[in-house]
Structure 1
């Protein structure tokens, strides 16, 4: 009985606050599912586009008010939308149950050709690793030649080229070239996935800062991992979160 009275008073107090102001308050909740992996689910306020992610226990906190719609989305779960009511803000056990996505593979027919491949035909050496141009240069500059020399030194000799490259700084330069190559790849992938108008009109990035924001985004390892998966929904959610942080940075610079 005391618990019911306390809950009633709490709801009455919250309702009184909303009668006086239209500001959003922090709502705490938790997602549940048939899995223990509940971390990293996106929770988006559809009205404000504010985005947070759940922690390892599935808990989250986000600014909202009654009538706002919370969107729950993740690669592993089906998207779910929840329209908030006043009681949700006083519910200490507010939770949302999510359903896992079940992927069904289409029938695949594989024709088997025994012992016929590029390696068996001698086109590609066995165990050949594929390198990009920058990676190939780095591998060549750092590879050690451990073949025996003409003098018969036990254990062979080591080429001086990698050592010279290391001390001259060429190895460090080539490593940077590999990183630059990766960043350029992610930049092209990002620009292919989202238009310039998306950055300006949707994410509200000033036109003159769009290119800088793209560089800022591909510097984030978590973002490039999701971007490389080519899941546009997850990429867009995280891109929105990065846009908020980036606008805070440029706002600080303008001041």
Structure 2
């Protein structure tokens, strides 16, 4: 009896030792979910911090070994952690079930208070609006400056500048300047949130294409909305999805 116990313990110790010292190999798998949008889900080996993403069919490949933990995460899915076993490496149909994130609002009661607002509380001066420099230029160029008397237009006048600016193309130029200013703001916010190494090492964007990718990202309305919320986790997930698409564009242009 004692001999059998000793043999069992030796076998367990040997198995654990083999699991810890064996080389990591490529494991192939696929995620499944109640959606067709399976591309861009992060797959991270928590032991080595090696990361990859799923393709359009949900398939992925990553270096791992038994007892490693794979972490699956994305904006639209709940995080899933899978402890790998020896069977996973021989299973030709290794699949991981992902559950969609469902945002369910609790009951909201809306009460109307007509006399309570930012102006009445003195937080914002009455009639004041904040403009950027480009927005001020555009407003000045397009605003009609009526100086008519209280009884009508008699004795008053309207500036011809807005009409002149419109036909000369200056208004269109100023509108473009406002858009450029917004994109520059988002570019600075993006570069402040993520380092150059993040784009090159984590997202695998070639160094010479990083600036182009930043412009590509801030052109995406959904991304700038999330970026402006300063939620780094959500921003990083969507940035990863955009990186996959941008690298496909680079690859197609290189052909």
Fold agreement, TM-score > 0.5: yes
Aligned partner of 1:69 in structure 2 is 70
CA distance in 2, matches of 1:198, 1:185: 20
Aligned partner of 2:52 in structure 1 is 49
Aligned partner of 1:170 in structure 2 is 170
RMSD of equivalent CA atoms: 4.1
CA distance in 1, matches of 2:41, 2:155: 60
CA 1:175/1:142 → structure 2, altered by over 3 Å: closer, same or farther? same
Count of residue pairs the alignment pairs up: 200
CA distance in 1, matches of 2:226, 2:171: 29
Q: After TM superposition, which residue ranges in structure 1, 4 or more long, deviate above 3 angstroms? A: 22-27, 39-43, 64-70, 72-75, 77-80, 82-91, 94-102, 115-119, 149-158
CA 1:180/1:146 → structure 2, altered by over 3 Å: closer, same or farther? same
CA distance in 2, matches of 1:222, 1:215: 14
Deviations 1:25-61 (A, max 9, x none): 6543238xxxxxxx99974233652158xxxxxxx95
Aligned partner of 1:29 in structure 2 is 33
Deviations 1:106-155 (A, max 9, x none): xxxxxxxxx88476xxxx5x221100000111111111223316996469
CA 1:215/1:169 → structure 2, altered by over 3 Å: closer, same or farther? same
3-state SS in 2 of match to 1:96: coil
> Mean alpha-carbon deviation: is it higher for 206-215 or for 156-165?
156-165
**Alignment TM-score, normalising by the size of structure 1:** 0.62
Aligned partner of 1:233 in structure 2 is 233
Deviations 1:159-215 (A, max 9, x none): 211111111111100000000000100110111111111111111111111111111
1:57-96 correspondence runs (5 A): 62-64=58-60, 69=70, 71-74=72-75, 79-82=79-82, 94=97, 96=99
CA distance in 1, matches of 2:237, 2:212: 19
Is the 1:51–1:237 Cα contact (8 Å) retained in structure 2? no
CA distance in 2, matches of 1:156, 1:87: 83
Gaps of 5+ in 1: 1-21, 32-38, 53-59, 103-114
CA distance in 2, matches of 1:190, 1:179: 17
CA drift at 1:222: 1.1
**Alignment TM-score, normalising by the size of structure 2:** 0.62
CA 1:133/1:24 → structure 2, altered by over 3 Å: closer, same or farther? same
Aligned partner of 1:200 in structure 2 is 200
Is the 1:227–1:235 Cα contact (8 Å) retained in structure 2? yes
